[in-house]
Amino acid sequence: MKHMLLEATMPSTLADEFNPRLSAEARFDTAAARLGLDDGMQKVLRSPSREVIVHIPVLLDDGRLEVFTGYRVQHSVARGPAKGGIRYAPDVTHDEVRALAAWMTWKCAVVNIPFGGGKGGVICDPGVLSPSELERITRRYTAEIFEFIGPDKDVPAPDMNTNEQTMAWIMDTYSMHARQTVSAVVTGKPINLGGSRGRAEATGRGCMIVTDQALRRLGLERSSTRVVIQGFGNVGGMAAKLMSRAGYKIVCIIEWDGAVYNATGLDIAALMKHRTETGSITGFSGGEDMDKTEAMFLECDVLLPAAKENVITSQNAHKLRTKVLCEGANGPSTHVADAILAEKGIFVIPDILANAGGVTVSYFEWVQDRQGYFWSEQVVNDRLEEIMVNSFQDVVAYSDKHGVNNRLAAYMLALDRVAAAIKMRGIYA
C-alpha cells in the first residue's frame, strides 16, 4: 500500500519551521485527524497538565546576586508520573520545554512504559558558571519545584548540559526536604546513589537495536551497511562505538567543528582516543577531514543525526542520500521536512521511537529504586532490547495497517494509547 505523506504546508518563515512547539503541534494535528479523535479529546491531549515557571535567586562566586528563570512542564500524567529531562542552556524557551514535554508523552507511549511526559529547563550558560554556582542553581530550582516532583508525580532526568552530578544534587535536595532519602525522584543518577547499570549506553544502544530491525525489514546486512553519524557525544558516540563493534561500517562522524570520513570504515576507538587527546575529531590520521555540512549528504545506508534539533529541513531534506534515517536526537527533522523524506522513500525511524532507549532504561532505574533491588547490566540490556524490538514492530505494523509513514504511525499509536487511558480513567468533575 502506498504510504500517505504527512500533510505539511510551507511555514511563513524559517523561524516558524524551526519552532519546536509548532512542529509538535503540526504532527499532533495530522495524527489526531487521521485517528478521527473528537475535538474535546484533542483539546485534552494538546493541553499541558501543569506548567511551572520559577525565578531563582542565586549568589554567584563573585558576590553578585543573579536571578535565573526555570521551567517545568508536565504535559500528561494520564499513563503515570511525568517523565523527562532538565536542560541548562542560555537559549532555553518556554515553547521549547512545552514541545519537549509533549514529545516525552508520545515517546513513553510508543514504548509503552507507564509514564507521561515532562520537561524542565533553566536559562543559564553552564560554560561560564562554576561547579558551585551550578550546584546552587540546581538546589534552589529543586526547592522551588519540590511540591510538583516526586516518584509518583514527576521524575526528572539529565538532558542538555546536565548530568549524573546534577541528578545527585536534585536527589539530595529533594531528600532533605522530604526528611528521608528518596532515590526514585530522579533517574540518571550515579550507580552508587541508585543509578542503573546500562543507563549511559541506553540511548545509543536503542538506536542500534531499531536500526537492526530496519535492516531486517529492508534486507540489508550490518557488514555492508555504511553509517554516517552526526554528533559524537553520549548518544552519537555510544551508537558509533556499539554499532562499530557489531559490524556496521561507520564511514563518517560529524561534529560541531568538522567531519572525518573513511570509505572503508572509521576505527571508532582510535577516533575517541584522538578526540580525547586533541579536543577535536579533525586531524585524525585514520580518516580525511571534510566539510561538516556536506558530510550530511554523503551517500550512505543509515544516517543517524544525534546532535541537535532542526538539522534536516525544507531547505536540505531533498539532498539526503540515505536509505534509513534513525533519529537519535530530539526533533532533528522539522515537520515540513517530513513530507520530503516520505516522498524520497527514506525509511524513517522517528525520534520518539529511535531515541527511546534512554527513557526506557530510566524507567528500569525508577523500578529498581522502588524495589530496592538492582539488576545486572545484561538483564538491563536484554529487557531494553525486548521493549525496543516490540515497539519497532508496533510502529511498523501500525504503519502497514493504516497506510501511513513511520513517523505518522508512531504519533498515531502514541495518541491512541494516551487517549485510551484518558477514556478509561474518565474526566473527574
Catalytically active residues are 119
State the CB neighbour count (10 A cutoff) for residue 271: 24
d(CA 408, CA 395): 9
Interior angle at CA 368, CA 200 and CA 82, nearest 5? 75
Task: Report the run of H or E that residue 304 belongs to, with start and end.
Answer: strand 302-305
7 neighbors 342 (Cβ within 8 angstroms): no
Three cell numbers written together for 103 = 514529545
Three-class secondary structure of residue 277 per DSSP: helix
> Strands 82-89, 50-59: parallel, antiparallel or unpaired by DSSP?
unpaired
- CA distance to 169, 170, 335, per residue, from 178 (Å): 14, 12, 42
Task: Report the run of H or E that residue 417 belongs to, with start and end.
Answer: helix 406-425
**Rounded (10°) CA dihedral 325, 331, 333, 339:** 100
d(CA 245, CA 238): 11
Task: Report the run of H or E that residue 288 belongs to, with start and end.
Answer: strand 288-290
Three cell numbers written together for 92 = 532555553
- CA distance to 49, 66, 107, 159, 342, per residue, from 76 (Å): 6, 32, 12, 19, 29
| Residue given cell 532555553 in the structure block | 92
| Residue given cell 586531524 in the structure block | 283
Give counts: helices (H), strands (E), the chain. Answer: 15, 12
d(CA 71, CA 416): 28
Three cell numbers written together for 213 = 530491525
d(CA 303, CA 321): 9
With CA atoms as reference, report the closest residue to 76 among 45, 114, 51, 98. Answer: 45
| Residue given cell 526555570 in the structure block | 70
d(CA 350, CA 331): 9
337 neighbors 358 (Cβ within 8 angstroms): no
